Amino acid sequence: MSTGPREINTPFRPIPLDVPEGMKPNEFFNSTENLNDLVNNNGLLKNPENLLLYRKALGHSTTFDTSIIYNTSQSILNPLGRPVRRTQVPEGVKNVWNRMNQIIIDYMLEAFPDPDEALVLAGEASLDATWSLTSPGVPSIRMLHNHFIVFDKKLLKDADPADPENPNLTDGGQHSLFQAYIREVYQDFFSFLDLKILKPIDNESATIGLTGYPQGLPSWEIQGGADALKDIHFWREYDLILKGFIDFYRTFFTQVSTRNAPLPKEAWFPEQVERKLLFNNDFLAAAKKVRDHCITDAKYANAIRWQPAFKQLIYRNDEGKLVVTISQNSIGNAITELLGVVVKRSPDTEAYEQAEPALIERLLEVRRRLIEADLGEGIKTAHWGA
């Protein structure tokens, strides 16, 4: 069996949405009207904290695929003003968010216990205003949401190889630059974090053998496995990883933008940024390479995501251990590529309806467990009751 990224075909039922005349699809998808459709046609559960569990109509997998979105569409009408990462969420909301994450991940591991048969992942991708609204590939819903996905490994094994140059895998050249010039700086920067539950692991242990991904990213084993996710200290450490990444990314692209720029005012760890980044010759030399490229290549400069854009994942490795990793976000904003899975969505109502009963049965069981834990109330749609 060859190792390499896979491109999997996932059928979907066409969504009955009419984009108003004169609007681009990505402009409509940021509207309150679209979010209303999300609730009414695919909503599973909602709670007073505005967290919405829903079925992914344009999904990644028909085995298991759901999301929780922090639905601020009616309270914050400006799409660019909505919370888009965990660090921007009020503590009370985050507490509920973490408990929902824990229960859904626990269910996925229970329902798909064999790491040889199922690839299990959960995580979030940045959806903030890192591009203009009219740019190709802009995230369709600018609100924080998590993905919970299970892929059948047999389907992955039988899938066609993905193009290694797919921009979602290569990160448009920016991630490869991180790896080529400042990999050790990137890895070392996280070493100062005071982590008790998360333990750094090597690339070989973090890699999914089937795809060969993730590649070269800092990764941590969750000591204690699924039980550790019930401990609030795990989620605080999960946030520390994100804060460290934001500091690294923001500092790097601040230096790309402005030579010898001062320490970012909003840094979470200013002392570490100053010591490990702003006085590191390799780090600053890499920023110069990108800056020089931007000055001479307008297309490249336009593709830069100047604000922190990330993917943060919890997934199960081949040994059955839970792993956390984090990466600069890709141009395509699809979270599965971090593990080497490229999803090609195909409109095929008949194929989707064959998989739909088992998928909905699993989603409704997750919903039942969340309701039992007082994490929300069910939503009635044309496909299921409340």
Strand, coil or helix: what is 233? helix
222 neighbors 322 (Cβ within 8 angstroms): yes
The predicted-structure confidence for 239-266, as pLDDT tens digits, reads as follows 999 999 999 999 999 999 999 999 999 9
60 neighbors 343 (Cβ within 8 angstroms): yes
Please tell me which of 285-289, 308-312, 319-323 the model is most confident about, judged by mean pLDDT.
Answer: 319-323
Please tell me which of 81-85, 212-216, 297-301, 314-318 the model is most confident about, judged by mean pLDDT.
Answer: 314-318
Which residues in 112-266 belong to E strands, given as ranges? 118-125, 145-152, 160-161, 198-201, 219-222
pLDDT of the residue at 26: 61
pLDDT range class, residue 334, cuts 50, 70, 90:
confident
Does any domain span residue 293? yes
* DSSP secondary structure letter of residue 261: P
pLDDT of the residue at 327: 85
Estimate the crossing angle of helix 232-257 against helix 91-111, to 10 degrees.
110
Neighbour-count burial of 204, counting CB atoms closer than 10 A to its CB (0-12 exposed, 13-18 middle, 19+ buried): exposed
Does 57 score more than 60 pLDDT?
A: yes
The predicted-structure confidence for 124-149, as pLDDT tens digits, reads as follows 987 665 555 555 555 556 788 899 99
From the list 147, 75, 69, 95, the residue with the least C-alpha distance to 379 is: 69
pLDDT of the residue at 179: 67
Does any domain span residue 385? no
Estimate the crossing angle of helix 174-189 against helix 281-296, to 10 degrees.
160
pLDDT range class, residue 40, cuts 50, 70, 90:
confident
Does 6 score more than 90 pLDDT?
A: yes
Percent of the chain with pLDDT over 70: 89
How far is 182 from 276, CA to CA, in rounded Å?
A: 12
Does 297 score more than 60 pLDDT?
A: yes
Strand, coil or helix: what is 36? helix
The predicted-structure confidence for 346-385, as pLDDT tens digits, reads as follows 999 999 999 999 999 999 999 999 999 999 999 999 889 9
Secondary-structure breakdown of the chain: helix, strand, coil percentages, each rounded to the nearest 5: 45, 20, 35
Total domain count, the chain: 1
247 neighbors 185 (Cβ within 8 angstroms): no
Does any domain span residue 177? yes
Supply 41's token pair.
């046609």
- Phi first, then psi: what are they for 168, rounded to 5°? -70, -25
Q: Which residue has the higher pLDDT, 322 or 290?
A: 322
Strand, coil or helix: what is 81? helix
DSSP lists the bridge partners of residue 119 as: 151
Does any domain span residue 384? no
69 neighbors 52 (Cβ within 8 angstroms): yes
Does any domain span residue 81? yes
Percent of the chain with pLDDT over 90: 64
Does any domain span residue 90? yes
Rounded to the nearest angstrom, the gap between the alpha carbon of residue 26 and the centroid of all alpha carbons in its chain is 19
Does any domain span residue 1? no
Neighbour-count burial of 291, counting CB atoms closer than 10 A to its CB (0-12 exposed, 13-18 middle, 19+ buried): middle
| Structural domain span for residue 302 | 6-378
pLDDT of the residue at 22: 80
How far is 304 from 327, CA to CA, in rounded Å?
A: 15
How far is 359 from 55, CA to CA, in rounded Å?
A: 9
Does any domain span residue 383? no
* DSSP secondary structure letter of residue 230: G
**How does the average pLDDT of the chain come out, rounded?**
88
